[in-house]
């Protein structure tokens, strides 16, 4: 069973771990629009694509007993390396040497014993743009600090999606969108033109995993329907919305088919991998 997760960061990494429990044929289509922290410093220094979200998603599908996996998230705290992770440096080193983002990710995945596939949402680095009530905003970090976001787009506008990402979405049985920052993570991957078109054309069941709470200020005041509306404004129509029973959105009305389930960890701060896997598998079997 071919299953796909789209987005970036910690949320998509959790989804990938959940999907890995229900199928060996897992693909993560990951945003490369990030420009903050270690990733932002490396982008500014070397003019390369963002690798931070790719790093998190590679780690989610990697062999946990692989020595490289164990050190992948190690973050240096001294000198010029302070703040950088081993994974970011390895990815950027490969990218700088090869000039090919897909090949760099693929090579590292092979060394780490990744089960499944991690693919960047675009073949090159992109800059996230947002239209807000206060005017245009440029750059993922600045967009994340914005409110009243109406629409996002990318620069370059015609950024190409990897062929393997498009074909995998088109052939998938299930595509899981989110959880994660709505505009700066989830939609940052979905608005790559080839990805948007693939989502519109696929026969896969598209499941949106709602966040556990609004993100301040990016989605401050949003209801569950507001999240779904934002997806639809960008050409992404979910067939089903999964909502945690303790989340701030559990009692919201929503026009899209919605399933309220126990999806969060005991502290309610993140999605639980096993619970999410169980819920997704049940939806696949329906």
Mean pLDDT over each residue of the chain, to the nearest integer: 92
Other beta carbons within 10 Å of 220: 10
Please state the rounded mean pLDDT for residues 48-71: 89
- The answer to whether the CB of 152 falls within 8 A of the CB of 128 is yes
Place of tokens 């998603």: 57
Comparing 21 with 72, the larger pLDDT belongs to 21
Q: If residue 42 lies in a helix (H) or strand (E), which one and from where to where? A: helix 37-46
Rg (CA), the chain: 18
Q: Give burial (CB, 10 Å; 0-12/13-18/19+) of 9.
A: buried
| CA distance to 23, 138, 219, 239, 242, per residue, from 282 (Å) | 13, 40, 29, 15, 12
What does the block give as tokens for 285? 């079997």
Q: Is it the case that residue 78 has pLDDT exceeding 80?
A: no
Rounded distance between C-alpha atoms, residue 100 and residue 68, angstroms = 21
3-class DSSP state of 38: helix
CB atoms within 10 A of CB 172: 21
Gap between the Cα atoms of 17 and 62, Å rounded: 10
Distance between CA atoms of residues 65 and 30, nearest Å: 24
Average pLDDT of the residues in 256-260 = 97
Dihedral sign, Cα of residue 35, residue 125, residue 59, residue 42: negative
Question: What confidence score (pLDDT) does residue 76 get?
Answer: 81
- Show the domains of the chain with their CATH numbers: 2-285 (3.40.50.10680)
Contacts of 44 (CB under 8 A, 6+ apart): none
Dihedrals φ, ψ of 264, to 5°? -100, 160
| pLDDT (0 to 100) of residue 79 | 73
Report the percentage of the chain scoring pLDDT > 70: 97
Average pLDDT over residues 167-185: 97
**Token output for 242:** 């999964």
Per-residue pLDDT tens digits for 113-158: 999 999 999 998 899 999 998 889 998 989 999 988 999 999 999 9
- Quick one: pLDDT band at residue 42, thresholds 50, 70, 90? low
For the chain, how many residues are written? Answer: 286
pLDDT of residue 85: 84
């Amino acid at each position: 069973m071919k299953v796909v997760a789209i987005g970036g960061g910690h949320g998509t990494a959790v989804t990938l771990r959940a999907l890995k429990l229900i199928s060996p044929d897992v693909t993560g289509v990951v945003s490369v629009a990030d420009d903050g922290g270690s990733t932002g410093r490396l982008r500014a220094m070397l003019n390369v694509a963002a690798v931070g979200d790719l790093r998190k998603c590679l780690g989610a599908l990697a062999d946990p007993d692989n020595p490289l996996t164990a050190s992948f998230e190690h973050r240096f705290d001294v000198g010029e390396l302070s703040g950088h992770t081993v994974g970011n440096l390895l990815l950027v080193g490969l990218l700088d040497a090869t000039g090919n983002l897909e090949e760099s990710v693929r090579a590292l995945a092979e060394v780490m014993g990744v089960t499944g596939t991690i693919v960047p949402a675009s073949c090159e680095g992109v800059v996230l743009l947002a239209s807000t009530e206060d005017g245009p905003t440029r750059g993922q970090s600045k967009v994340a600090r914005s409110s009243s976001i109406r629409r996002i787009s990318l620069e370059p506008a015609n950024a190409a999606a990897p062929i393997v990402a498009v074909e995998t979405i088109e052939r998938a049985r299930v595509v899981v969108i989110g959880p994660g920052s709505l505009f700066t993570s989830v939609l940052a991957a979905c608005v790559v033109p080839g990805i948007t078109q693939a989502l519109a054309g696929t026969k896969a069941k598209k499941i949106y995993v709602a966040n556990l709470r609004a993100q301040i200020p990016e989605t401050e005041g949003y209801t569950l329907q507001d999240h779904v509306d934002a997806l639809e404004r960008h050409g992404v129509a979910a067939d089903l919305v999964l909502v945690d029973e303790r989340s701030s959105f559990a009692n919201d009305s929503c026009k899209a088919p919605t399933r309220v389930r126990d999806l969060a960890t005991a502290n309610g701060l993140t999605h639980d991998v096993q619970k999410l896997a169980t819920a997704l598998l049940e939806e696949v079997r329906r």
